[in-house]
Homo-oligomer: A and B are copies of this chain.
Amino acid sequence: MSKPFKRILFTGAAGNLGRRLRDHLQQFADVVRLTDAVDFGPAREGEEVMLGDLGNRDDVFRMCEGVDAILHFGGVSTEQPFEPIMNANILGTVNLYEAVHKLGIKRVVFASSNHTMGMYPTTTLVDAGMPTRADGYYGLSKVWGEALSRFYWDRFGIETVCLRIGYCFPEPTTHRQMNTWVSLDDMVQLLHRSLVVPCVGHSITFAVSDNPGRWWDDRHTRFLGYAPKDSSAQFADPLHGAAVDYSTNEDITLKFQGGPFLNNGPKYPS
């Protein structure tokens, strides 16, 4: 079976998601170009490897040269001081979309984050049409990426699917992880749909499995045809059989969707 693309770019190959997704990317293209700021080993068959700094315009233009589509998973993915986030996630996306625009690339899949909406209460169902409520510098940098890619769609017709990714690790063990978990297979399915559906415009969707209790409503992106096959219901529910202590309901990591990130954000002394 032929592959959908000749060459795609995947940034952030050294990260958690990059390493887990790597083996699944080959189905999308004859050549998968993998990049990161730090070394992640040599190219395998069907791969190209490039190292570079997203904050460096020339590096980014080199990464994007000759690709048909981009999976942009690079940049900082945890709460950190502002400077590295500004460089990789803000300047980095500016560089990327300038390259995309100049080079005539037509579609990007952008790894956004649920931390764009981390300050919503855990009792609120969030959909992609609601205002963002970031929970720190990291979440704010993803709000930036969503807004920037929206501009490139509105003004230049470049398509982006923004994935607000949940908890993508093998096994959820907390209530928050149960609600936000996404299996690797579902993640790969969503990447596939984001790449191949003929028209996606600028879309914001949720990378989450079919968990009971999930906080996010995908009503704006049903056209993607993403149909998660997995659910956190297959794991032991940490709420089942455990003693309940309501005094924790003042705990901001339980009250707000951002969870533990809320305690990692900007504070003095920063």
Q: Which of A18-26, A38-46, A99-107, A163-171 is near enough to bind chain B?
A: A99-107
Which one, B129, B154, B201, contacts A123 given CB within 8 A?
B201
Report Cα–Cα, A79/B198, bound state, in Å.
24
Residues of B near A212 (CB, < 8 A) are: 225-227
Q: Are A246 and B159 in contact (CB under 8 A)?
A: yes
Q: Are B199 and A213 in contact (CB under 8 A)?
A: no
Number of copies: 6
Report Cα–Cα, A200/B244, bound state, in Å.
13
Report Cα–Cα, A15/B266, bound state, in Å.
30
Which one, B90, B133, B226, contacts A90 given CB within 8 A?
B90
Q: Are B4 and A243 in contact (CB under 8 A)?
A: yes
Q: Are A199 and B121 in contact (CB under 8 A)?
A: yes
Q: Are B123 and A199 in contact (CB under 8 A)?
A: yes
List A residues at the B interface (Cβ < 8 Å): 1-5, 68-69, 82, 86, 90-91, 94, 97-98, 101-102, 106-107, 119, 121-125, 129, 131-137, 139-140, 143-144, 147-148, 150-151, 154-155, 159, 175, 178-179, 193, 195-201, 203, 211-215, 217, 219-220, 222-227, 233, 239-244, 246-249, 251, 254-255, 262, 265-270
